[in-house]
Amino acid sequence: MKKIFLAFLCSSSLVACQTKYDGYILNGNIGGNSEGMKVQLVNEAVYPPVTIDSTVIKNGRFQLKGKVDRPGMYQLIIDKTGQDDPSQMLASRFYLENSVISYSGHVDSLRTYYWSDETFRKDPVVKGSASQDLYDRYLKSIADLRKQSGTINEKYLEVYHRPAMDGIFNTEEGIALIKQENEINKKLNIAQWKFIEEHPESIVGYDLALQFLQGMYVNLTVPQLEQLTALITKAWANIPPMAENFKTIADKAKTMAIGEKYQDIELMNPEGKMVKLSSCVPEGKYVMLEFWASWCGPCRGEIPHLRHVYQEYKDKGFEIISISIDEKKTDWDKAMKEEKMVWKQLCDPNGFNGPVAQKYNITGVPTCILLDKEGRIFKTEMRGAALDAVLQELY
């Protein structure tokens, strides 16, 4: 009898080994009235994003199965109406990998597809993904700093930003808050860099390193970029495509790194003539390159403050060059006339397909770059009281 029992155990173990699934199994548990809602698992690492699997919620549950080449951040979308209307979708991101993963949330409190300031919105609880566990530990380590940052930002909106929209500039109060925010951001950057150094081989460390490189602003110097690249490419040497991808992005980022010379491009002046940017950048002055468009509400909302600081600092050696990405000159002309900007004006008539986007990696407006007296990138995204603070220090 004992021999038969042992034989049964051996055969059962063999079957278990043979039938073990080597991909991912994502088990979802969605509270609330979620019956029949469509679930989509989306790979955002490619463009355009690709839905790799979908299903329907039944009795508050769903399951998705598949296999990924390596761990990565994926988006899970719950379509509440089935009409492919983003305003009626819930969406969250998490690290997917080949393991058994549980995903839990409530249909009434999961985060929406579009950003919402509803404070009751929550991320799902994801268990079974080692990469997600690591990312959760990172988020927990900076939670207090992020909370402090949020509190300061709310106060900044109340004390500085909203009054500024009406032409009231509470400069000193705004600068004080910006200085507090800058200190917190320094601590956040240090924490992020430290985490990357401790976990360079993880996809979480890889993605956090990419955050320093991607987007319109590269607030690192070339030596810092090279240090980061060496760390990541060494850790990912056994996966050449990932290592090469990081190096390619880092090399591109070097052109916009802190301390690098601005990129000279051809732009249109108000008379319709194409001129070199270098012919408009004065020597020996701090120069702000302000990228905007006539159709951009936030861009035009910034102009009253730019007029304010220009009048205060233009005689001290501060210059502004506004660079529009309007594709229609008539729109640009109309906006210039309405806004009464007295500083230099240029335009890239090719919009997001022109040299502004290609050389300066401008993917949205408004955005700005501050050049030092030698024409090197000195600061990025200096807006409102942040610009006030920098100019106060310089002059």
CATH number where 324 lies: 3.40.30.10
What pLDDT sits at residue 16? Answer: 45
- H/E run at residue 292: strand 286-292
230 and 299 together in one domain = no
Q: What share of the chain is helix, strand, coil (3-state, %, to 5)?
A: 45, 25, 30
Rounded to whole angstroms, how far apart are CA atoms 138 and 195? 7
Among 25, 19, 28, 171, CA closest to 100: 25
295 and 369 together in one domain = yes
Count of domains forming the chain = 3
271 and 343 together in one domain = yes
Determine, yes or no, domain membership for 135: no
What letter does residue 111 receive in the DSSP assignment? P
Instruction: Output the CA–CA distances (angstroms, integers) from residue 251 to 95, 226, 244, 300, in the order listed.
Output: 27, 9, 10, 33
154 and 89 together in one domain = no
Determine, yes or no, domain membership for 136: no
What pLDDT sits at residue 19? Answer: 56
Rounded to whole angstroms, how far apart are CA atoms 354 and 266? 10
Q: What does the angle CA 150 – CA 298 – CA 311 come to, to the nearest 5 degrees?
A: 100
Question: Torsions phi, psi of 41, nearest 5?
Answer: -105, 120
| Total Cβ atoms within 10 A of residue 141 | 13
Determine, yes or no, domain membership for 226: yes
CATH number of the domain encompassing residue 61: 2.60.40.10
- Per the listing, tokens 């200085």 go with 179
CA atoms within 13 A of residue 240's CA, in its CB half-sphere:
0
What letter does residue 110 receive in the DSSP assignment? B
Which residue range is the domain that position 318 belongs to? 266-394
231 and 299 together in one domain = no
Q: Provide the 3-class DSSP secondary structure of residue 18.
A: helix
Rounded to whole angstroms, how far apart are CA atoms 201 and 207? 11
Structural domain ending residue among the three candidates 129, 163, 191: 129
Walk along the chain (395 residues) in steps of 10 and give the mean pLDDT of each run. Answer: 47 49 96 97 94 98 98 98 94 98 98 89 96 98 97 97 92 97 97 99 98 86 98 98 97 94 98 98 97 97 95 96 98 97 98 94 93 96 94 94
Q: How buried is residue 374: exposed, middle or buried, by Cβ count under 10 Å (0-12/13-18/19+)? A: exposed
241 and 270 together in one domain = no
161 and 246 together in one domain = yes
| DSSP assignment string, 127-166 | ES-HHHHHHHHHHHHTHHHHHHHHHHHHHHIIIIIHHHHT
Structural domain ending residue among the three candidates 85, 105, 129: 129
Strands 100-106 and 125-127: antiparallel
232 and 285 together in one domain = no
375 and 300 together in one domain = yes
What pLDDT sits at residue 8? Answer: 45
Determine, yes or no, domain membership for 3: no
8 Å CB contact between 74 and 96:
yes
Determine, yes or no, domain membership for 118: yes
Q: Provide the 3-class DSSP secondary structure of residue 178.
A: helix
Determine, yes or no, domain membership for 13: no
What pLDDT sits at residue 216? Answer: 72
Determine, yes or no, domain membership for 295: yes
Determine, yes or no, domain membership for 189: yes
Structural domain ending residue among the three candidates 107, 129, 151: 129
275 and 378 together in one domain = yes
145 and 252 together in one domain = yes
387 and 273 together in one domain = yes
The two tokens of residue 97 are 């990998």
